[in-house]
Amino acid sequence: MAPDYTQAAAKEKSELTATRRGLAASSMTQKTAIVTGAANGIGRAVALALAADGWDVAALDVDEPGLARLPEGIRRVSCDVADEGAVQAAFGATAFDRLDLLVNNAGIARPVTGPIEALSLGEWRRMTDSHLTGTFLVTRSAVPLLRKARGAIVNIASTRAFMSEPHCEAYAAAKGGIVAMTHALAVSLGPEVRANAIAPGWIVTGDPSGLSAADHAQHPVGRAGRVEDIVDAVRYLAGAGFVTGQALTVDGGMTRRMIYVE
């Protein structure tokens, strides 16, 4: 019997129409994002940029005064990401039923903890918990919501995961762990959820006037980084459907430059 091309064409047209309707409906759904460590610095810039782009953003941070300075349109949630109970409560407070993007940015921003022989176990855990354990706890709570939306995770690591100054063992270990966790998540959660990391270099989050010409000149691009550089990277990875398990270095070329003492 000859195939019924008319019937097949009608079926194909019906499926195409349904797909277009689905795409139209999904485009009308406001995208949702959670950004941790969003009261200051990189996290704040990311939260503000996503909100300006039309996202429904929940900002998590332990710094309540910093959260209070965010615009009213952003959901402000007080949360210590290293505290399991606090993370669970924070997800209840967001009231999201789906999640398109999780940006794990929270963590103590002072890399130097002193000589390792003088580093206490408590200080080690405080640093690693704020970055690595916090990323684990928030991601674990977010995964069911991310699966619903076929969403994305962007973890904020650091170039210190790959190179070091003295006395930064706890910070480097935490950021290196985030890079490793990122590719593990990509394999475990794909294809429903993509997971990538950003490794920022020297990003100026405060007043840039204190930087010298030499500070800028040591970067192959001719300047130190700005929070907007990381915002651009988050935007890219949020929508890069064929990119997962990667650590995107955003450092103005610093990690590619040989430096010799003269």
Tell me the pLDDT tens digit for each residue of 170-212: 999 999 999 999 999 999 999 999 999 999 999 999 888 889 9
Closest CA to 34 of 57, 14, 16, 10: 57
169-189 and 134-149 helices, crossing angle to 10°: 20
Closest CA to 34 of 141, 167, 108: 141
Tens digit of pLDDT for each residue in 76-127? 999 999 999 999 999 999 999 999 999 999 999 999 999 999 999 999 999 9
- Report the distance separating Cα 259 and Cα 254, nearest Å: 10
Find where tokens 């349109």 sit.
73
What is the DSSP code (8-state) at residue 133?
Answer: I
- The partner residues of 195 in beta bridges, in order of sequence, read 153
Query: Are the C-beta atoms of residues 157 and 247 closer than 8 Å to each other?
Result: yes
CA atoms within 13 A on the CB side of 183: 7
Q: Which stretches within the chain are classed as H helix? A: 5-28, 41-52, 64-68, 84-94, 121-128, 134-149, 169-189, 213-217, 227-239
User: What pLDDT does residue 262 have?
Assistant: 72
What is the DSSP code (8-state) at residue 168?
Answer: -
Query: Are the C-beta atoms of residues 29 and 56 closer than 8 Å to each other?
Result: no
Long-range Cβ contacts of 29-32 (<8 Å, 24+ apart)? 30/54, 30/55, 30/56, 31/55, 31/56, 31/100, 31/101, 32/56, 32/57, 32/58, 32/96, 32/98, 32/99, 32/100, 32/101, 32/149
pTM: 0.88
User: What pLDDT does residue 160 have?
Assistant: 96
- For the segment 218-230, the average pLDDT, to the nearest whole number, is 95
Closest CA to 195 of 232, 246, 128, 122: 246
User: What pLDDT does residue 2 have?
Assistant: 46
- For the segment 117-144, the average pLDDT, to the nearest whole number, is 98
Find where tokens 């505290």 sit.
83
- Report the distance separating Cα 125 and Cα 41, nearest Å: 23
Domains belonging to the chain, first-starting first, are: 30-256 (3.40.50.720)
Catalytically active residues are 171
